[in-house]
Amino acid sequence: MTILSLIAAAEPYVPRDNPITDFSDTPTWLSLVKALLIFVYLLLSTLLVIWFERRVIGRMQQRPGPNRTGPFGLLQTLADGVKLALKEDLIPKNADKLIFILAPAFFGAMAFVSFGIIPLGPTVSMFGHQTPLQLTDVPVAILLVLAVAGVGAYGVVLAGWSSGSTYPLLGGLRSSAQIISYEIAMGLSLVAVILYSGSMSTSQIVANQRDIWHIIPLVVSFAIYVITMVGETNRRPFDLAEGEGELTGGFHTEYSSLKFAMFFLAEYVNMFTVAALATTVFLGGWMAPPGISAINDGMFNEGWWGLLWFTIKLWMFMFLFVWLRGSLPRTRYDQFMRFGWKFLIPVTIVWVVAVAFLQAADNGYLGERVVSLLGAERRLASLIVIGVLALLVLAATWIWEGKQTAKAEAAQVIAPDVIDPYAGGYPVPPLPGQRLQEAQSAAPKEVIHG
């Protein structure tokens, strides 16, 4: 039987239902309370993570870090925030004042919106109502996160343009190009999660991980997402919009006082948002680790325990952000963009095709034939197919990069080893690896003036 006949004989793939969490017992005032609690949760987490980052990097560099203001220096971030708010608020003369004021508020607001669809825990009792520990849920929640991230790029562009200065404009263009480029690979990595779980609802994606977390079958998507979330949040080694030697502070160079604080706050809230999304779609969300989940029939997966597990997983990613900043140097912008467009996006496309093929094969006669021919279990067969595809993509990328490198080396002009510094009429210093001719042949000709 040929492959075409196998595909024709296969049963059609029937998508799963895409329900959302039940909010029937959640009045409007309770939703407002939960929105306020999420806002406070993010603000307190931001204050704590800035202190945490400075302390951890201080230890990595063999210095104490902030340890004066408050116990263990915990109030240092609050003191810095108050000092920043009391500084003079300057607006450049050539700035578009309305857009200059709205850009940081717009960018900061978009940073908080995405957290509204993240499930922080199961259904809990709040003020006599049974409500999910989640602000809202929609059938296309994953697309909402990507849409908000795309809209947030406008805040960066408008901030750079409205400043009326050259360096902020260039920084805004660089930052927006970085955000858009790596958002493509991020979205494709989440497409594989959607195909595997059969839902775009964040609560249903978490429920789909009761047996096995998505990080195990979708480890390629997880690795790509982690790389893209560092690039998306403008963190080292990808903090290229803040190359002090090139563009000073980037798109927010001309901002001061609370407007600058809004950009600073949005950067850290975005870190929590992408980390929360990674926790939700790859690490089981608010559910306890597998060993703890089995205790007393899942006792630790009920009530407010979910918020604890979610927070622990979230801070694992925050430590990753801090560790990368303290360990890796800043990359070059052209290398960073080439890595995103010429490696991450092709690999992600092949990975999505592989996941789509395997999910379709698992739901029809074709899947049974593939498994029987390989003589292995379905998941082992999936790993074999995915491994072969990954090797083919890596081999093709390696061959293509080799050809491009050889072409660039062939086109490179080879400088001579020995040069005459006065050959063009003006003294020219030698390049590294070159040497001058002998003094008698390299001396300038005597000019006789009449």
Q: Which domain holds residue 186?
A: 86-330
10 Å CB burial of residue 202 (0-12, 13-18, 19+) is: buried
pLDDT at residue number 72: 84
pLDDT at residue number 4: 33
DSSP state for residue 344 in the 8-state scheme: I
Residue 35, in any domain of the structure: no
Residue 53, in any domain of the structure: no
pLDDT at residue number 160: 84
Contact 175, 160 (CB under 8 A): yes
- Total number of domains constituting the chain: 1
pLDDT at residue number 377: 53
Is the confidence at residue 11, as pLDDT, over 50?
Answer: no
pLDDT at residue number 316: 92
Contact 142, 200 (CB under 8 A): yes
Residue 234 region by backbone torsions, left for phi larger than 0, else alpha for psi between -120 and 50, else beta? left
Q: Which of 71-80, 150-159, 198-207, 272-281 has the highest mean pLDDT?
A: 272-281
- Give the residue, 307 or 2, on which the prediction is more confident: 307
Tens digit of pLDDT for each residue in 128-159?
888 888 888 888 888 888 888 878 788 888 88
Beta bridge partners of 388: none
Q: At a CB cut-off of 8 Å and minimum separation 6, what does 284 contact?
A: 206, 209, 213, 214, 313
Tens digit of pLDDT for each residue in 209-240?
888 888 888 888 898 899 888 888 878 787 77
- Give the residue, 448 or 189, on which the prediction is more confident: 189
From residue 111, alpha-carbon distances to 76, 252, 272 in Å are 24, 16, 9
Lowest mean pLDDT among 220-234, 254-268, 337-351, 360-374: 360-374
pLDDT at residue number 5: 38
pLDDT at residue number 374: 45
pLDDT at residue number 449: 53
Query: pTM score, two decimals?
Result: 0.77
In sign, the C-alpha dihedral spanning 166, 168, 171, 172 is negative
Is the confidence at residue 366, as pLDDT, over 50?
Answer: no
pLDDT at residue number 247: 57
Lowest mean pLDDT among 78-82, 425-429, 437-441: 437-441
Residue 223, in any domain of the structure: yes
Indicate the residue type of 223: A
Is the confidence at residue 441, as pLDDT, over 50?
Answer: no
Tens digit of pLDDT for each residue in 318-345?
999 889 888 888 878 888 888 888 888 8
Is the confidence at residue 86, as pLDDT, over 60?
Answer: yes
Nearest CA among 73, 51, 252, 280 for reference residue 170: 252
Contact 279, 311 (CB under 8 A): no
Tens digit of pLDDT for each residue in 377-420?
555 556 566 666 666 766 776 777 677 777 776 766 665 667 77
Share of the chain above pLDDT 90, in %: 3
- Give the residue, 438 or 430, on which the prediction is more confident: 430
Lowest mean pLDDT among 119-128, 175-184, 296-305, 381-390: 381-390
Q: Which pLDDT band holds residue 165 (cuts at 50, 70, 90)?
A: confident
Residue 70, in any domain of the structure: no
Residue 145, in any domain of the structure: yes
Tens digit of pLDDT for each residue in 28-55?
888 898 889 989 998 898 889 999 998 9
Tens digit of pLDDT for each residue in 48-84?
999 999 898 888 888 888 888 888 888 888 888 888 8
Mean pLDDT of the chain: 77
Residue 301, in any domain of the structure: yes
Is the confidence at residue 352, as pLDDT, over 50?
Answer: yes
Residue 72, in any domain of the structure: no
pLDDT at residue number 13: 36
Three-state SS for 333?
A: helix
Residue 157, in any domain of the structure: yes
